[in-house]
Amino acid sequence: MQQNSLIIMSNPIKLRYNRIVWGLLFLVLLIGILFIYVDYTGLINENVPQRSNEISKKPSLTYKSRQFYLNGQPLQIISGTINYFRVHRKYWRTRLLQLKAAGFNTVDTCIPWNLHEKTKGSFNFHADFNIRKFIKLAQSVGLYVIIKPGPFVGSQIDFGGLPGWLLKDANMRVRSMYMGFTLAVDNYFQVLMHQLVDLQASPNGGPIIAIQLEHEYGSFGDSLQYLHFLRSTLRRYGATEAFYACETVEGFSRHRRLNGDFIGINFNRPEDGRRMISNRQAWGRDLPLFVSELWSGHQLNWNALDRHDVIRPATLANLISKLLGPMRASLSLHMFHGGTNFGFMASRLVATSHDWDAPVHESGSRDTLKYRAVAAAVSMATGNRSDSSGRRRAEKELFGIVGGSGGRVKDYGNFSIDSVLTWSELINLIEDPKLYESAKFMEEVDQNFGFIVYRSAFKAGQVVTVDGYVADWGLLLINGAPPDPADPSSGQLSGAIPRQHDQQQQVQQQQPAQRHLSLKRSQLAAPTNTLDLIVENLGRSSSSSGGAPEANAQRKGLASWQSLNAEQLQAPGRLLINEQPVPSYKIYSLRLDAAFMAKVAVRRSSWLSVSSAAALPRGQPGLYRASLRLMDEPLADTYLDMSAWRKGVAFVNGFNLGRYWTEAGPQRTLYLPAPLLRRGDNEVIIFELIRPGSHVSFMRSPKFVYPV
């Protein structure tokens, strides 16, 4: 009995001891979490040394007395922009050789997050997105590499390279310290640097010598905390090389430079360059002059009135000569080769062709005045400092590949449309539509690109009202046809698509509006009618000038603006029949991705012959198929002429060539690289929204038609 009482008496002591131990463990854990959070969010002071688990190796690229040094040796960076994702991978080596042959020693490229992580948590570094292969090819032809991992990269790519799925979070604040954004960036940088860490010059002897941090951030914001977070995160995942920022005139005066980083300036007008160069000198005597983007031309927008901002070869060559010669500057020619906005990668209102009027054309031809002028300017300015033997080797290899000039292009002629997949058949192939009581944004239903369809049933009505606006282009159908069957364009709805010259005007906030469409009695059926609103995502802005309000309000679909505490917030719009909201929406995600197009191609029984489809209502969307048969002739690049069509997307052998929009112009053709073709039958599928043509044509030259 005494022994039992002793045991009972000892229990409270043991319990008290356990509580103390667990309390201490919890306190240690809490302190650890707080330390990680403070460091993670960039709240540590800029001058605090790096954490022990960050890479502390010295970068190979340094600077002093306004001069770059690579491993202690003077280096004048002469770079050209070639974005690997805008070029078919079979042409990467050729484009890099063209750069080397022109006297350049470096290539720089953006790395768009949204192309490598199209779906949250699912990464793609294969085929045309194999950034490792591109960088290794650059090294093999004797080029250094500058990478631009963003996370915002600009470059006229959708959302500036940010993934659309970020906007599923209704409170998202991109390019900021918002935790939902920083967590996603941290995860992406970890995966990306795993691909690149061993390709850096320090300590592995790789070709990567510098890393651009963000893109023109001074035009967007001024958070030093955010920039520090990006740099420390990249360092934590293995980045060893020098960081730099780039700015235009607009953001240069507001830019906040991190200690140790250098600055690049972006311009094409000499007066802008002079203003920024004078400001740069006020920052310190050591900073080298680095023109991170010397524009060789300009992007092409839908609805462009003329070829604005064209830079003549002589003007560009003169700028290069002055920068490389008397000013001893380093530079990047943006673009050296523009390439193509394949698929849905273009930013808002930017055309599919990204030729840019660059020295090397979209098809890879360097038989241009601009290429010769640029190569001559580089050679004269650098003299014996250039790698002449490397240039000769590049020229020799190029001659063996493409006969010296580059870019074999062929006219394959005309091919008739042979079959049609109607709208009613097409929409039934879309898997897993969802029923909602209200409209949803594209991002809310886990869709980033393509088209979203809002379907609703109603019994009778005279007027359909779109309460809000479409982001960015829409088509309304009643029982599969336009509201006015005699007018195929009667169901078209457009967001803000101004004719403009300034790329900074691309995104315009729209005020709440209503569009009323009257219905014809002949369109209505009994007892139930079907309303379809098809909304096309034409891309999110890649500009920094609008700041956070515009950047965070780029959700796609049926939208409206709502006021909350004097702030304009984006919200889903509504559809009304006779002024009464429709009770529900069946939402279809028409992604037109590779998986869907493969499914469509094998559904032979669903396709109608052209003769059987002749009686279909005008103005009805559909898929149209033709076959390009190639037998003995060598395969060559070509241009798909869409002049006889109106608006849609074109595919060849399942590959998305990009959007066409003949009504808006000026682009009328789509570039088709030869590696996408094969001997025998090549399947051409056109998704046309308004009015199909009877055939497709393949031409040797691109076609652009300007209204003035």
Residues marked active site are found at 216, 293
SS3 sequence of 601-629: HHCHHHCEECCCCCCCCCCCCEEEEEEEE
Residue showing tokens 């005007």: 505
Neighbours of 226 (CB within 10 A): 23
List own/partner pairs for 658-661 with CB under 8 A and 24 or more apart: 658/340, 658/341, 658/342, 658/343, 658/344, 658/346, 658/352, 659/344, 659/346, 659/351, 659/352, 659/538, 660/352, 661/302, 661/351
Query: Is the bond leading into 583 cis (omega within 30 degrees of zero)?
Result: no
Q: Give Cα separations from 247 to 242, 331, 447, 529 (angstroms).
A: 17, 14, 32, 54
Q: How far out from the chain centre does Cα 636 lie?
A: 27
Rounded CA separation 564/179 (Å): 23
Crossing angle of the two packed helices 179-196 and 131-140, in degrees rounded to 10: 40
Q: What is the Cα–Cα distance from 347 to 336, expressed in whole angstroms?
A: 20
CA 657 to chain centre: 15
Rg (CA), the chain: 28
* AA identity, residue 287: L
Q: With beta carbons less than 8 A apart as the criterion, state whether 147 and 201 touch.
A: no
Contact 585, 579 (CB under 8 A): no
218-to-7, 26, 251 alpha-carbon distances in Å: 70, 42, 4
How far apart, in Å, are the Cα atoms of 179 and each of 171, 185, 707? 10, 10, 47
Q: What does the alpha-carbon distance between residue 421 and residue 607 come to, in Å, rounded to a whole number?
A: 5
Nearest to 55 by CA among 262, 244, 263, 233: 233
CA angle 515, 426, 699 (to 5 degrees): 90
Find where tokens 């003949």 sit.
662
Cα-to-chain-centroid distance, residue 451: 17
Q: Is the CB of residue 306 less than 8 Å from the CB of residue 706?
A: yes
- Helices 131-140, 92-101: inter-axial angle, 10-degree rounding: 40
Q: What distance in Å separates the CA atoms of residue 153 and residue 115, rounded to the nearest whole number?
A: 12
Beta-strand runs (E) in 37-161: 61-64, 67-70, 73-75, 78-82, 106-110, 144-150
Determine the Cα–Cα distance for residues 592 and 654; give it in Å rounded to an integer.
10
